Chains A and B, each alone.
Chain A
Amino acid sequence: MTDILLAVGDLSVRFGGVLAVNKVGFDVKRGEVFTLIGPNGAGKTTVFNLISRIYTPTSGTIAFEGDDLARHAPHEIAKLGIARTFQNIELFEHASVLQNLLIGRHTHRSTGLWGELLFTGKTRRAEVEAREKVERVIDLLALQHHREAIVASLPYGVRKVVELARALCTEPKLLLLDEPSSGLNVEETDDMAFWIDDIRHELGVTVLMVEHDMALVSKVSDRVLAMNQGEVLAMGTPREVQSHPGVIEAYLGRAADVAKLRRSAEVTT
């Protein structure tokens, strides 16, 4: 068992004339929280989609525990141990929260079609066991109130938590979180930070996330990768990356421009 869980090497993808991701490479170590940051359109979610095999890379490799992901179809990724959440929530809207979480257990299914049609004792026991596992995730994320609610009736903040819960129900080794705090208020973001910590320490799940909230990033991440326009800008601890001049330029502009902004602000105040 190597230390490196996910190895992305020279990854590129081209959509028509646009090079969305250009020779991006990084390693994610087992048990760490690794964050991708960058302005909108930098290609972060595209990297996630490449890992989940929603897109196929034009060149480069993605290796999960040494296994080349390009050899796998999109529906096999979950079985390998990779789960993800989506930027714009992709829950099953017309089903209850419990149903959504149970669908998350799909890869651990032990029943066959005929067993299910006849609902044998084995199927019954498998169902009870699935519900027990799901209940632990519900406990962790405090979703008890919403267990029977239809997702379409839930507010945005709760949906985001359900999305996280569903991903956890797959018992992943690697969890891809796409902007877990977007749309959440301060309290909910605090909760999210605690949960990411719990996920890493209690559940032993490696987390790869995309995030804009720098406070959250600094609080939970071990390492950060900054991207801009599909390319890698800098990689290191949160502090190192945040003080990297290229990163500052990507977010705020050149030092000279920043100084000019500061001066004009002083004049008006």
Chain B
Amino acid sequence: MRFIFKTRYEQDIRLAKHGGHLFWYSCLGLVMLGAPWLVSEYWLAQLTFVLIYAVVGLGLMLLSGFTGLFSLGHAAFLGVGAYTQAAMTNAGVPFPIALVSAGAVSAAVGVVVGLPALRVKGIYLAIATLAFGFIVEEVFARWESVTGGNAGIHIKAPNLFGFKLDSDVSFYFACLVVSVLATLAVLNLLRSPTGRAFVAIRDSEVSAQSMGIHLARYKTLSFAISAALAGIGGALYAHKLQFISPDQFSLLQSIDLLLMIVIGGVGSVHGAFLGAIFLITMPQVIALGKDWLPTAIGQAPGLQGFVYGAVLIGFVLFEPLGLYGRWLKLRTYLQVFPFYRRGMFQRQKSYLKSDRLK
């Protein structure tokens, strides 16, 4: 079992808490770098999608998991980023600039969507974000001059100052770079005053105010950063699919994103990645399992929705810490073997207390 003995403040601040951390994440890094030569083209594409969804998931995790602002319309930011990227790339803007603009435009929309957050809380905010999601989706469909309306638009390949990123491998590396930078940015944010301010707002607004945290500013900031990340993810999404249309950014997509962070594990950065892996591999698993089920069930169109719902219910009921929580338990089991007791992570029976008076 490992005991971390800290003798300097820097050790507390570091991202890699001990040598083992560094080792395993370096291994992961090497595997990710070597992926194009290790896995088939199909799985590389899936891996690219995992990275893209993870970036979006990081944004949503920051907003809902760390700041406690529940967003039911996050697909809107995905769409804003995607369409901005499409418009700019088709106009010939180089990839990095278009990407940054996609993030910036999404951040601006995020600020607007975050305005209700300054006045209302909890379910009211959730419904407000839901409303925004529907409105933005409709705007995508109606603003035909920019978005091509319901017919959708195609996107040219990303253009890195002359170097075209139109192969699967090169685009994979672009996504890898973006997702690593996004993860580092979020981790840095969380270990600095702004990240702590977000957590403070989540846990006790009154108390946060008395500590000098300007609620309106930090809530808006959280929305902006979260939307920017979703927008950047959306831009990459647009390039990967090479075709986007408004119905890809509907409520169902928003719920998929929420599903991702709940199953991944709310309130942890790992959760965004684990959730993204879940979201991308689940349809594959269902497709594989279909052959083993009786035809009536296996070939039924509603199967995917049914399984998603069942898994979500299962996680909320039995594993509220999500996949990351399950991983923590497994790791603890291995670390303290054979002294693991069943009650180590037991939740106390909780009673309902009014959320309105928070």
Give me the interface of A with B, judged by CB distance under 8 Å: 52, 54, 73-79, 83-84, 86, 90-95, 98-99, 102-107, 109, 111, 113, 116-119, 123-124, 127-128, 131-132, 166, 170
Contact = CB atoms under 8 A, between A and B. Distances in A.
B208 to A, nearest CB: 8
Contact of B213 (A84, A106, A131): A106
Interface string B228-262: 00000000000000000000000000000000000
Interface residues of B, number: 31
B350 to A, nearest CB: 11
B203 interface: yes
A83 B210 CA distance: 7
20 contacts: A54-B209, A74-B209, A90-B204, A92-B199, A92-B204, A92-B208, A94-B203, A95-B203, A103-B211, A103-B213, A106-B211, A106-B213, A113-B194, A116-B192, A116-B193, A117-B188, A117-B189, A119-B191, A124-B13, A131-B9
A119 B188 contact: yes
Contacts of A98: 12
A23 to B, nearest CB: 26
B203 A93 contact: yes
Contacts of A116: 188-189, 192-195
**Interface SS of A by simple majority:** helix
B325 interface: no
Interface in B167-211: 185, 188-189, 191-197, 199-200, 202-204, 206-211
Given A113-B194, A116-B192, A117-B189, A94 B213 contact: no
Nearest to B206: A90
A75 B191 contact: no
Contacts of A92: 199-200, 202-204, 207-208
B221 A113 contact: yes
A82 to B, nearest CB: 9
Nearest to B13: A127
A132 B194 CA distance: 19
B355 interface: no
A103 B197 contact: yes
Nearest to A82: B210
Contact of A123 (B10, B192, B200, B215): B192
Most buried by B among A74, A95, A128: A74
